[in-house]
């Protein structure tokens, strides 16, 4: 009996060993394919699979890939995978990668070390960033490594580089772009301790540095930087291209001062790309007072600018545009009719509901059009659209059914905020054929008959 038990244990251990060896072999093959992949999406897919599979035994193969002469295709993925496999065991490999000829690899290795509390590389990186003889691209890359740091003394030394680079003798040709990169690296940390440094950079830095300083100040609730940019641009001290670069730092921000800056840009810009960026940002600000100036571009002969203006107007959600959107309900383009109906719904005007419900029910239309209509209906918390949505659950296209299912959950949750129904409990599967989902759909209709009327 004891012998049989031992043999059983041995068999289980052997099976486990074989499984581990097979998994390791599979991981090694995926790693080779990831590094050889030319297509980014394929490389990213393999990386995500490997994240779930790598184990400490894979560290050796990963380290060998890290030492490849040119791992640019997926080298930084290798560093991430080494952290997942065995972060502590990978520390010697990360330290060795600090001498890699590629600045990108040195940066990712430094970030990995920082996440494990090792900042021994920081002094050398600071010296390299300050060295005008170092490769310009590498200097910019090395700044990025400090984004993973928490140590305030080191971050303070990094910020102090902005002033020393600006005042270097002879002048450092990379001073302005490096100042921009340093501020961009730190700006999302919202560190108020650096407010004086940001204001100093705004007052004395180059154009790119001032732009980044303005964005950093804005994130900390100080709009003075945007006023400086507006004054510089209005006085001709900033070119259109320089303002285009500056606006790249301002996505996701809002406020009257930003709206004023963007208005000034639209009044003066001669660069189509800058005009386009300003219109897009006005939509993102959510400032309804900007609707009038954005509307001027809705019929622009440049289709990209007209599309950006319409998308921005839909985001602004102001009653002042109700007449504009009602007029567009008769547009020759189905896409535009759907957009207009959705925009009207967003400002509590339900003229758009019948349009969207009709589109959703019309199976002769392209599935993409029906899907867009279902998505637009999510903006309405109206009992009038529940029955059309139930009908949409039987649409022949699975993509449309999935969009309808998502919208139905949002609408019912809005209609019953204190006790929202758990629609997921009915067992409906948008991917399955509607004929197999009859019971789930009938359950929903019965629920609506009881609670919705």
- The predicted-structure confidence for 260-295, as pLDDT tens digits, reads as follows 999 999 999 999 999 999 999 999 888 888 999 999
Residue 307 has pLDDT above 90, yes or no: yes
Q: Which of 295-299, 331-335, 415-419 has the lowest average pLDDT?
A: 415-419
Residue 23 has pLDDT above 70, yes or no: no
> 235, 236, 232, 228: which is closest to 257 by C-alpha?
228
Confidence band (pLDDT; 50, 70, 90) for 249? confident
pLDDT (average), residues 135-144: 91
Residue 72 has pLDDT above 70, yes or no: no
Residue with tokens 């940001």: 198
**What contacts 453, CB < 8 A, 6 or more positions away?**
none
Residue 22 has pLDDT above 50, yes or no: no
- The predicted-structure confidence for 172-213, as pLDDT tens digits, reads as follows 999 999 999 999 888 777 778 888 889 999 888 888 898 889
Confidence band (pLDDT; 50, 70, 90) for 68? low
Asked whether the bond before 170 is cis by omega within 30 degrees of 0, the reply is yes
Region 318-453: CATH code: 1.25.10.10
pLDDT (average), residues 315-325: 89
pLDDT (average), residues 331-356: 85
Confidence band (pLDDT; 50, 70, 90) for 100? confident
Compute the radius of gyration of the chain from its Cα atoms. Answer: 29
Residue % of the chain over a pLDDT of 90 = 37
- The predicted-structure confidence for 152-183, as pLDDT tens digits, reads as follows 999 999 999 999 999 999 999 999 999 999 99
Domain ranges within the chain, ordered by starting residue: 22-118, 318-453
Q: Provide the whole-model pTM.
A: 0.69
Instruction: Indicate the burial class of 248 (C-beta count within 10 angstroms; 0-12, 13-18, 19 or more).
Output: middle
Structure tokens at 318: 């102001």
pLDDT (average), residues 221-248: 91
Question: What's the mean pLDDT when you consider all of the chain?
Answer: 85
């Amino acid at each position: 009996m004891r012998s049989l038990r031992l043999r059983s244990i041995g068999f289980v251990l052997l099976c486990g060993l074989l499984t581990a060896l097979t998994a390791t072999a599979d991981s090694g093959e995926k790693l080779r394919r990831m590094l050889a992949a030319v297509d980014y999406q394929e490389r990213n897919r393999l990386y995500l699979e490997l994240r779930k599979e790598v184990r400490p035994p894979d560290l050796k193969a990963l380290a060998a890939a890290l030492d490849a002469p040119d791992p640019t295709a997926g080298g930084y993925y290798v560093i991430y995978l080494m952290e997942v496999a065995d972060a502590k065991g990978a520390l010697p490999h990360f330290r060795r990668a600090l001498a890699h000829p590629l600045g990108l690899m040195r940066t990712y290795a430094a970030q990995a070390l920082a996440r494990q509390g090792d900042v021994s590389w920081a002094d050398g990186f600071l010296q390299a960033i300050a060295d005008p003889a170092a490769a310009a691209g590498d200097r910019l890359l090395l700044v990025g490594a400090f984004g993973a740091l928490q140590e305030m003394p080191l971050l303070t030394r990094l910020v102090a580089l902005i002033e020393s680079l600006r005042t270097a003798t002879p002048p450092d040709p990379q001073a302005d772009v490096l100042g921009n990169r340093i501020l961009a690296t730190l700006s999302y940390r919202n560190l108020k301790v650096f407010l004086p440094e940001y204001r100093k950079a705004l007052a004395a830095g180059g154009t790119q540095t001032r732009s980044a300083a303005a964005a950093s100040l804005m994130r900390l609730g100080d709009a003075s930087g945007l006023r400086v940019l507006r004054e510089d641009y209005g006085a001709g001290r900033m070119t259109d291209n320089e303002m285009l670069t500056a606006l790249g730092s301002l996505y996701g921000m809002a406020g009257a001062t930003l709206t004023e800056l963007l208005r000034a840009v639209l009044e003066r810009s001669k660069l189509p790309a800058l005009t386009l960026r300003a219109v897009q940002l006005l939509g993102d600000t959510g400032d309804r007072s900007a609707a009038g100036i954005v509307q001027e571009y809705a019929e622009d002969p440049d289709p990209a600018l007209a599309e950006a203006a319409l998308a921005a107007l839909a985001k602004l959600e102001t009653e002042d545009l109700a007449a504009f959107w009602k007029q567009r309900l008769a547009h020759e383009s189905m896409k535009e009719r759907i957009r207009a109906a959705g925009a009207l719904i967003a400002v509590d005007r339900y003229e758009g509901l019948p349009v969207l419900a009709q589109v959703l029910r019309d199976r002769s239309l392209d599935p993409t059009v029906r899907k867009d209509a279902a998505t637009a209906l999510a903006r309405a918390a109206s009992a009038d659209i529940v029955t059309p949505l139930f009908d949409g659950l039987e649409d022949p296209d699975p993509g449309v059914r999935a969009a309808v299912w998502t919208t139905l959950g949002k609408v019912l949750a809005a209609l019953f905020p204190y006790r929202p129904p758990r629609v997921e409990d009915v067992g409906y599967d948008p991917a399955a054929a509607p004929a197999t989902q009859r019971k789930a759909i009938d359950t929903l209709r019965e629920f609506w008959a009881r609670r919705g009327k």
